Amino acid sequence: MTAIIVCGRSGAAFAAEIGSMKVNEEIDALRTLGLTPFGWLVVPRIVALVLVVPLLTLIADFVGISGGLLVGIIDLDLTTQGYIIETLKGVHGWDVLTGLLKSLVFSVAIALIACQQGFAASGGAEGVGKRTTSTVVTSLFALVMIDALFTVIFRAFNI
Amino acid sequence: MDTTRLKPLVRPHATAGASRSLVRVNRAMPRHRRLTADEAIVDVKGLTIGWGDVILQQDLNFQVKRGEVFGLLGGSGCGKSTLLRFLIGLEAPIAGTIDVAGRGQPELEDGLPPFGVMFQAGALFGSLTVGENVSLPLEEWTDLPVDAVAAIARAKLKLVGLDGAADKFPSELSGGMKKRAAIARALALEPELVFLDEPSAGLDPVMAADLDELIVTLSKTLGLTVVIVTHELASIFRIADRVIMLDKEEKTIIARGDPKELRDSEDPRISDFFNRKSKDR
């Protein structure tokens, strides 16, 4: 869920930023200054997502559980205490960890796809728009595939 | 012994009289050999350029001498801007060789290239201020302290008539100011050679003339070699010492020499180019 939001927000932004740099010849300018676009534009974005997406995932976990609590109290006649106790029983540290592990892989995938699409932009503002759209589509597809892969792997190892 | 590897100077001065640079660069692009003073700074032999299977120009042979303003001319779509991309190492030649300042075909991953480039629309980094744009190469390639970098950046901006614009973002500048700022960035590390892609395109005639004036002044005072892509006839006559003219149909150089002499050429393609447009002005 977090990854989908990040893909729509940051992935699209990355593609648009790098794409507009590409069509403005800023990438070429960077290269002719002897600087590498990968080190300057891609690495910082990967690092940023890898640091932030797991944190966002933790926040999302917390918000999700809190949301459940709210619904439970209002609609399902649960007590706050009861909900928390049952949740702590049901959720293990491992659940959170696998979530974090997945979020790491998601963030690298989003950053790489977005940057690749940005670099592939050509033909002015229209080209940037196209690449931004295809970043979101490609990343969403990749996220679903990666998630499925994780499910298979976790199942195989009985996690 | 190749001393440049031990103590790379950004600007291996062509002329003895030119002012010596204080800017020392940490990792300049390796040089195969040192050029003698009268050797061509850009040497192109049998060059074929194009995209994939499409050949734009072939069998190009020309040399750019030190300290001259050299024009690459031709009608729209003949591949002159593309030729520039090949000269600065952004694309690899289909055939033939390019030698820039004794370093062969520039390998941009090998370190700081021995030239500065001004792209057509300026290509300033939009997320940095004008001052930061000019400082960036200095910060990356030298060990100069922060205040020295800022002072050099200010000096370069003053040189192109942009004092006071250091804290503005590129989006706040007019087209002409962007081009000037881009020239300041290209000059930041005091290269001996600069490539300018259509410096006066899209500017009003007064601004274009000012920019031409600036280019001539820089070339004269700094001993700078300038390779300029343009189709502005007024610019060509004002600043270019020598030109080559590319043709779209012939796919090669159809004229070379002093632009003032080419005006009287008997070849209609050449005289049309040089005269028809100049009559319009």
Are the beta carbons of A12 and A114 closer than 8 angstroms?
Answer: yes
Of A66-80, A108-122, B14-28, the range with the highest mean pLDDT is A108-122
The mean of the pLDDT values for chain B is: 82
Average pLDDT over residues A121-133: 91
- Which secondary structure element, helix H or strand E, spans residue B244, and what is its range? strand B242-246
Predicted confidence (pLDDT) at residue A78 exceeds the cutoff of 90: no
Cβ–Cβ gap A32/B140 under 8 Å: no
Cβ–Cβ gap A32/B121 under 8 Å: no
The mean of the pLDDT values for chain A is: 91
What is the structure's pLDDT at B3?
A: 39
Predicted confidence (pLDDT) at residue B11 exceeds the cutoff of 60: no
Cβ–Cβ gap A36/B109 under 8 Å: yes
What is the structure's pLDDT at A88?
A: 87
The tokens describing B168, both together, are 């503005």
For A39, the closest chain B residue by CA position comes to: B109
- In tens, the pLDDT along B115-171 reads 999 998 889 998 999 999 999 999 888 888 899 899 999 998 988 888 888 899 999
Interface test mutation site (partner B, options A30, A33, A40, A41, max chain B beta carbons within 10 A): A33
Cβ–Cβ gap A34/B141 under 8 Å: yes
**pLDDT tier, B9 (very low <50, low <70, confident <90, very high otherwise):** very low
Average pLDDT over residues B267-280: 68
**pLDDT tier, B13 (very low <50, low <70, confident <90, very high otherwise):** very low
For B85, the closest chain A residue by CA position comes to: A28
| Residues on chain B touching A36 (C-beta within 8 angstroms) | 109
Residue that wins the pLDDT comparison between A59 and B268: A59
**pLDDT tier, B22 (very low <50, low <70, confident <90, very high otherwise):** low
Residue that wins the pLDDT comparison between B40 and A135: A135
Average pLDDT over residues B188-204: 87
- In tens, the pLDDT along A95-120 reads 889 889 999 999 999 999 999 999 99
Position of tokens 């189709």? B231
Average pLDDT over residues B48-73: 89
For B197, the closest chain A residue by CA position comes to: A25
Q: What is the DSSP string of B58-114?
A: EEEEEEE-TT-EEEEEESTTSSHHHHHHHHTTSS--SEEEEEETTS-S--GGGSB-S
Own/partner long-range contacts of B46-53 (Cβ < 8 Å, ≥24 apart): B46/B95, B46/B96, B46/B97, B47/B86, B47/B93, B47/B95, B47/B96, B47/B97, B47/B98, B48/B93, B48/B94, B48/B95, B48/B96, B49/B79, B49/B82, B49/B83, B49/B86, B49/B91, B49/B93, B49/B94, B50/B79, B50/B82, B50/B94, B51/B82
Given B27, B111, B113, which is nearest A32 (Cβ)?
B113
Position of tokens 């996220």? A143
What is the structure's pLDDT at B276?
A: 62
CA distances from A129 to A3, A17, A119, A144 (A): 21, 11, 13, 23
Own/partner long-range contacts of B214-221 (Cβ < 8 Å, ≥24 apart): B214/B160, B214/B161, B214/B180, B214/B183, B215/B69, B215/B183, B215/B239, B216/B69, B218/B159, B218/B183, B218/B187, B219/B67, B219/B68, B219/B69
Cα–Cα distance, B11 to B4 (Å, whole number)? 11
Cβ–Cβ gap B108/A20 under 8 Å: no
Cα–Cα distance, B42 to B87 (Å, whole number)? 8
Interface test mutation site (partner B, options A22, A23, A31, A32, max chain B beta carbons within 10 A): A32
B52 touches chain A (CB under 8 A): no
| Residues on chain B touching A34 (C-beta within 8 angstroms) | 27, 29, 108, 110-113, 140-141
Cα–Cα distance, B208 to B234 (Å, whole number)? 9
In this prediction the pTM is 0.81
**pLDDT tier, B225 (very low <50, low <70, confident <90, very high otherwise):** very high
- Which secondary structure element, helix H or strand E, spans residue A151, and what is its range? helix A124-156
What is the structure's pLDDT at A159?
A: 65
For A26, the closest chain B residue by CA position comes to: B123
